Structure 1
Amino acid sequence: MKKSLALLMAFLLAGCSLTHPGLEQKAEDTPVTTRTVTTDAASNASATNVPTALTGAQVAAELQKRYRDTRDNCGSASTPAFLCTGLLIRGTEASTEFDAWNPSPTSIKNGGVSFTYLRSDYKVKRLAYTYDSGFIFYPILSTPAGKLNIEILCFFPVDGSSNARPNGGCGEHPRYPTVSRSCEEQNPIIDTAAKWVAKYRKDIADGRNPYEAMCSFNVRDGVNNAAAARFLEGMRAGRLISPDAFNTPNDTKLKTWAQNIPAQLPIEAFFYTKASGLAGAQFYQRRFRGLTGATLPIIYIPLPQTLEQSATFTFRAADQTL
């Protein structure tokens, strides 16, 4: 996957523009700083960044577009769909004691941070711990220059009780040290959705906690041509146990990053899913602006409450703390 990803990134960076093509800024939209470009040497003497013309409405439209993009991969067997489609979101809690984008002590210990992957063909009705606000990461193939590419490690079709697992939260659970190993380490290997579902149902039938006993699909960069197929099978597995994967959010593990580096993180926007989450999203927006000088948009994303519904993405000028 490394070689294919490098080529794709080079292509995208060569052809990228400061605004998303096909999305015109409306006069009434409030501009927000979502990407930066380095100025020439003379200009750098007085300013290091210039905000783009991207608006909150355009960000919402981009999120909607990725949510509806249901490709199996991003062009090859080594480029899984999460690199270019869907949304990687993390529900968080607003607090003056810590910054929401900083990894928790648990994440520092086990090496992984939990996100939820959203797409129109992989819906969830709530986030972990019923959080109603948080932040969204750019997909890796759209990450702006100067931002970190945070590696996706593994995918659990539903909550994998990953806080207690080693190896980035992807390894074996201490309660079931054998049956909970990564799917490719199972005996026999679990490499299809059907095999994963059979194990999931057997764990339940045998009286095991299915979240602690399940195995994760390893999608690290190092697995190369296996990555796209594994992620696709993981999504198929979640659909086969419907509505479990709708009622209980998936667990997508990203590699833990360093503390206190907000300006380097690939945060695309802040969000809230219900009215009670707006204050939290506004807190993140103010805090992020205070630390970095950049204003990221707040997007309202009510999650579907039935499988027939879909998430929507709305930028509201009144929500912003500009």
Structure 2
Amino acid sequence: MGAWIAKNRTTVIVSVAVIVAAYAFYYLKNDIAPSMYVSAWGYAIPLVLAALVGVIGERSGVVNIGIEGQMLVAAFAGFFAAAYSGSLLVGVLAGIGSGLILGGFLAWTTVKWRMDQIIAGVVLNIIATGITSFYYQPGQLLPGLMPKFDIWPLSKIPLIGEVFFSGTSIFATLAILAAIGVHVALFHTRWGLRTRAVGEYPSAADTAGINVERLRLINVTLAGTLAGCAGVYLSMDASSSFERGMVAGRGFLALAIMIMGAWRPLRALAMAIFFGFINAVASQLQAGGSIDIPPQLTGTLPFVVTIVVLAIAAGRVRAPGAVGQPYVKGDQ
């Protein structure tokens, strides 16, 4: 443990400082801090899930620009399947299933057909926007609300319990468990070692007996389920309606979060919460009358901060060595 702390001294110091500052703000501004933190986590949930899609894909060597489209189709499929069937469960399964199908589409076109990965993702986004706009029908309602629950005894912890474990939903809990699970799987299992190998040195992995194409196909396809969960959360949990273009750039923001998190799941989780807090601050300033600017402009604040942080982080992080490069056996 001591060796790990010494190796990650900067991360530990920053983490402790952030936690102390968060608790100080929580107790000093108890009238607004709890609602701001809850709002920040609510905004961060789909970003965490979407960023994990990017982490799994790029750690496998496949760039997934199509996360935005996957989330949009999942939000559409989940909402309207629930509205027409009268079952929230059917909607959730439809949304997750659509994310899985689109993940398979992206995997097949980029891995098997060796289509340019950026173009494949852009095509997916265009198709998603067209389909969801063409078949959109206003006036539909969900058959009910997604269930909320407390996770005892974690919900009793001051601040952390109130934000993350009190009145939470299955997708909020899934976001935390997925971040932890993907981190453990990537860095402490055979699957993770093989995934990182095909993302860094696919020819060496192939020589070692790993089927590079099959592993990439499986990883990118299954990662689509997380994009499906993110989309379903937006239309069935965070809200009770579907609107055209409701993902509103979160898929692209998730890719930026993935990069700023250095392609590591837990760091991506932390960055997603950071951007959620930035959004909560903008909302609080708007609601409190501290600033008098249109809400459409305050909504761009997370993206402005993204540009600034990416500019600062440029050159400080390194992508997986073979990301974006289709693997052809015998050519490398």
TM-score (normalizing by structure 2): 0.26
Asked which structure has the greater RCO (Cα within 8 Å, sep 6+), the reply is: 2
Bigger strand fraction: 1
Bigger helix fraction: 2
